[in-house]
């Protein structure tokens, strides 16, 4: 399993950037969504998280950027511990970009406004600087000519690409993708996955929850299989898919392929 | 039919017992108020512009020049070039004169002033109470819950009486009846506004807050720039309902003797005695017109703001 040493010795990756240890999350209704779950992610690594519905994948990502409070365990991102300190919490939210299944663009703002907002409010950029960054990012995700559109005027794939640009605008150190393509029509899934694969190639650290095994094989470095809030198995992409060690993993992979 | 009664008393319907000689002073006061309002809006725009980019639709530069420089300029010009020469007395004294005679103002003007100030006050008080109601902190949540429940459980007419008798006890002296009723109106309506605000905020998908907080916005920032702008738009129809109610309820101020449209009409009726049907039909139409303007304006506002919902996914 990757730790400080393996991160440093792997030529593809840098130091440890995400450290989650013994995460436990019990919801008010008694559901144990995370059960002593640990994961270490190296800089520049792309970790694909898979698992059956209800296994706690979303909960894990939401805990990582503080949208859910953990009941036990420790989260350290780029040396900052996610604890009760409001300052740390906000710092981590700023450093961790999140892309949701349902896009969650702000419908009352144009594409430009959506991406400018946090840059100006959180990073304190002037409108001009923010717009420069925004336009560069929109160019990257192929949405530059739609900067003045409202979200409702865009297709799902376009909205999701804007959402990715919005997260990137904060120059995050880690990007979290929670089933970013699950709500999309099949023909536009590719355009979003393409943007994600580009990001991976550029060396962005990514934790990706997805059912797209093609993407996992192409862009992923490591696959993590979760069930009942715990890790069943993890390993580098090729061996994981070709020869999963666990019987549970085998049946799951057979089901989804 | 005695429609001539209306014709002869039309001024009383419009301004009540306000002395007609002081009318120019009243007009002047209105002008001053408008100038102040425009100046403040202009200031707000300037601050907004240098700070943040959250306003999506901005007036074009031309519109801006006309609106924010032209209007105050025009009004200042009017003041010094037209009004000053016309007036023998200093203008500020004249304005003061109008304020001095304020308690003699009545008729539809008073009704509109009561409704407008009531709506304005109730909106802000209601917004604050509604946000407090949404808060997780108990010191905010429980007092606002109590406020909403209590106020919604009593009739408006009782609140008016209550403040009428309470004010002298608290202040040691009588508060002008106008202010007593205004306070009652604001408090009464704000409880309903607060509930509308709460429901409006709750009806937004939680993903909006999460996306906002997720990019590092503080709770207050995400409320101000992401949640409230959307929620307030959805609330407009409910707000207007409440404001139309309030506008009609201003007639209740007559029971403690505030001279507004209803009381003025009643006075005309008792003076003339020949035309009750005509008198009350007239004020019915007047109330209707005010309320209709309110709803029509809100429909326009809604249409403008619904732009972004052009296509629903
Ligand atoms: N806010 C919540 N309150 C109560 N229970 C919750 C809440 N959110 C999630 N859960 C429960 O926690 C468990 C894990 O949920 P989670 O959404 O993390 O699963 P998932 O792996 O993302 O599933 P899916 O693939 O369907 O998205 C589920 O049993 C779910 O019902
Ligand atoms: Mg999920």
- H/E element, A18: strand A16-26
Residue A37 pLDDT? 94
Q: pLDDT digits over B196-210, tens only?
A: 999 999 999 999 999
* B49, B135: one domain: no
Contacts of A166 in chain B (CB under 8 A): 211, 215
End-to-end CA distance of chain A: 26
Select from B67, B100, B133 the last residue of a domain.
B100
Q: pLDDT digits over A25-66, tens only?
A: 999 999 999 999 999 999 999 999 999 999 999 999 999 999
- Compute, in angstroms, the gap from residue A178 CA to the centroid of ligand 2: 7
Q: How far apart are CA A221 and CA A160, in angstroms?
A: 23
Residue B143 pLDDT? 96
* B209, B61: one domain: no
pLDDT above 60 for A2: no
* B291, B230: one domain: yes
Q: How far apart are CA A164 and CA A246, in angstroms?
A: 34
pLDDT cut 90: percent of chain A above it? 68
Weakest mean pLDDT among B90-94, B173-177, B211-215: B90-94
**Residues A192 and A181: beta-carbon distance below 8 Å:** yes
- Which is more confident, B113 or B26? B113
Q: How far apart are CA B26 and CA B16, in angstroms?
A: 13
* B203, B245: one domain: yes
CATH code for the domain in which residue B306 is found = 1.10.3720.10
* B169, B249: one domain: yes
- Which is more confident, A128 or B131? B131
Calculate how close chain B gets to A167, using CA atoms only, in Å.
Answer: 7
Strand order across the A72-77 sheet = A32-42, A16-26, A72-77, A80-81
Structure tokens at A235: 């390993």
Residue A70 pLDDT? 92
Tokens 């003061």 belong to: B96
* B140, B276: one domain: yes
Q: Are strands A230-236 and A32-42 parallel, antiparallel or unpaired?
A: unpaired
Select from B100, B124, B139 the last residue of a domain.
B100
Calculate how close chain B gets to A250, using CA atoms only, in Å.
Answer: 34
Q: pLDDT digits over B237-288, tens only?
A: 899 999 999 999 999 999 999 999 999 999 999 998 888 999 999 999 999 9
Is residue A53 within 6 Å of ligand 1 at its C-beta? yes
Burial class (CB in 10 A: 0-12, 13-18, 19+), B31: middle
Q: Mark out chain B residues that contact chain A at CB-CB < 8 A.
A: 52-54, 56, 205, 207-208, 210-218, 221, 225-226, 229-230, 233, 307-313
Contact A152 B312 (CB under 8 A): yes
* B144, B192: one domain: yes
- H/E element, B244: helix B228-249
C-alpha radius of gyration, chain B, whole number: 23
Residue B59 pLDDT? 56
Calculate how close chain B gets to A104, using CA atoms only, in Å.
Answer: 6
Q: pLDDT digits over B46-103, tens only?
A: 555 544 444 444 556 676 676 677 767 877 787 777 767 766 667 667 777 778 888 8
Residue A7's CB is within 10 A of a number of other CB atoms, namely: 20
Is residue A256 within 6 Å of ligand 1 at its C-beta? no
Which residues are near ligand 2, the ion (C-beta closer than 5 Å)? Answer: A 58
Average pLDDT, chain A: 90
**Residue range of the domain that includes B120:** 4-12+106-312
- Compute, in angstroms, the gap from residue B193 CA to the centroid of ligand 2: 36
Closest by Cβ to A121, choosing from B214, B221, B229:
B221
Residue nearest to atom 24 of ligand 1 (CA): A53
* B276, B307: one domain: yes
- Which is more confident, B58 or B37? B37
pLDDT cut 70: percent of chain A above it? 95
Residue B174's CB is within 10 A of a number of other CB atoms, namely: 10
pLDDT above 50 for B45: yes
CA distances from B77 to A48, B41, B66, B83, B96 (A): 70, 19, 15, 9, 21
Residue B311 pLDDT? 44
* Cα B162 from chain centre: 22
Contact B208 A106 (CB under 8 A): yes
Most confident among A8-17, B62-71, B137-146 (mean pLDDT): B137-146
Structure tokens at B8: 């002869």
- Compute, in angstroms, the gap from residue A62 CA to the centroid of ligand 1: 11
Contacts of A163 in chain B (CB under 8 A): 211
Average pLDDT, chain B: 84
The average pLDDT across A176-202 equals 92
The Cα angle at residue A99 between residues A96 and A101, in degrees rounded to 5: 150
pLDDT above 90 for A14: no
* B276, B299: one domain: yes
* B94, B118: one domain: no
* B58, B123: one domain: no
Calculate how close chain B gets to A181, using CA atoms only, in Å.
Answer: 16
pLDDT above 70 for B140: yes
The average pLDDT across A217-224 equals 92
Count of domains for chain B: 2
Residue nearest to atom 29 of ligand 1 (CA): A54
Q: Per residue, what are the HEC states of B84-149?
A: HHHCCCCHHHHHHHHHHCHHHCCHHHHHHHHHHHHHHHHHHHHHHHHHHHHCCCHHHHHHHHHHHH
Q: How far apart are CA B142 and CA B160, in angstroms?
A: 25
End-to-end CA distance of chain B: 59
- Compute, in angstroms, the gap from residue A53 CA to the centroid of ligand 2: 7
- Compute, in angstroms, the gap from residue A30 CA to the centroid of ligand 2: 18
Q: How far apart are CA A191 and CA B5, in angstroms?
A: 76
Residue B54 pLDDT? 44
* B46, B180: one domain: no
Contact A104 B213 (CB under 8 A): no
Select from B39, B73, B100 the last residue of a domain.
B100
Contacts of B226 in chain A (CB under 8 A): 106, 117
Q: pLDDT digits over A31-40, tens only?
A: 999 999 999 9
Structure tokens at B163: 């403040």
Is residue A13 within 6 Å of ligand 1 at its C-beta? no
């Amino acid at each position: 399993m990757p730790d400080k040493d393996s991160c440093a010795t792997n030529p593809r990756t840098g130091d440890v950037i995400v450290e989650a240890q013994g995460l436990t999350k019990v919801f008010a209704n008694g559901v144990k969504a995370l059960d002593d779950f640990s994961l270490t992610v190296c800089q520049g690594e792309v970790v694909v998280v898979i698992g059956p519905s209800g296994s706690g994948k979303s909960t894990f990502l939401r805990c990582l950027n503080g949208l859910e409070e953990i009941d036990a365990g420790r989260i350290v991102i780029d040396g900052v511990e996610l604890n009760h300190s409001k300052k740390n919490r906000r710092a981590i939210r700023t450093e961790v970009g999140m892309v949701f299944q349902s896009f969650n663009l702000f419908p009352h703002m144009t594409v430009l406004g959506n991406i400018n907002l946090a840059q100006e409010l959180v990073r304190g950029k002037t409108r001009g600087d923010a717009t420069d960054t925004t336009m560069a990012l929109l160019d990257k995700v192929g949405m530059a000519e739609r900067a003045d559109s409202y979200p409702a005027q865009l297709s799902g794939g376009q909205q999701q690409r804007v959402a990715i640009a919005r997260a990137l605008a904060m120059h995050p150190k880690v990007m979290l993708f929670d089933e970013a393509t699950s709500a999309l029509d099949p023909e536009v899934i590719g355009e979003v996955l393409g943007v994600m694969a580009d990001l991976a190639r550029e060396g962005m650290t990514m934790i990706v929850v997805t059912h797209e095994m093609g993407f996992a094989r192409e862009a992923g470095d490591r696959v993590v299989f979760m069930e009942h809030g715990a890790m069943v198995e993890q390993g580098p992409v090729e061996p994981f898919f070709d020869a999963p060690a666990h019987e549970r993993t085998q049946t799951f992979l057979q089901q989804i392929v | 039919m005695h429609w001539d009664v209306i014709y002869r008393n039309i001024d009383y319907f419009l301004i009540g017992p306000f002395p007609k000689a002081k009318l120019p002073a009243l007009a002047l006061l209105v002008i001053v108020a408008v100038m102040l309002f425009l100046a403040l809006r202009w200031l707000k725009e300037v601050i907004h512009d240098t700070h943040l980019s959250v306003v999506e639709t901005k007036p074009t530069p031309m519109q801006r020049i006309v609106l924010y420089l032209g209007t105050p300029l025009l009004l200042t010009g009017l003041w010094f070039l037209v009004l000053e020469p016309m007036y023998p007395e200093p203008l500020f004294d004249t304005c003061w004169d109008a304020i001095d005679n304020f308690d003699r103002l009545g008729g539809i003007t008073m009704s509109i002033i009561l409704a407008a100030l009531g709506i304005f006050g109730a909106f802000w008080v209601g917004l604050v109470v509604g946000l407090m109601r949404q808060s997780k902190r108990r010191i905010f949540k429980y007092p606002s819950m109590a406020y909403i429940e209590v106020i919604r459980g009593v009739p408006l007419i009782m609140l008016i009486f209550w403040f009428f008798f309470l004010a002298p006890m608290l202040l040691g002296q009588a508060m002008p009846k106008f202010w007593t009723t205004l306070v009652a109106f604001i408090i009464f309506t704000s409880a309903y506004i607060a509930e509308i605000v709460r429901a409006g905020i709750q009806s937004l998908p939680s993903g909006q807050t999460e996306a906002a907080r997720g990019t590092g916005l503080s709770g207050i920032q995400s409320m101000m720039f992401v949640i409230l702008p959307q929620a307030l738009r959805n609330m407009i129809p409910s707000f207007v309902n409440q404001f139309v109610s309030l506008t009609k309820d201003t007639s209740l101020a007559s029971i403690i003797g505030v001279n507004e449209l209803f009381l003025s009409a009643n006075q005309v009726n008792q003076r003339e005695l020949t035309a009750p049907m005509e008198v009350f039909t007239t004020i019915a139409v007047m109330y209707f017109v005010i309320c209709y303007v309110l709803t029509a304006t809100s429909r326009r506002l809604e249409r403008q703001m619904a732009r972004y919902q052009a296509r629903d996914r």
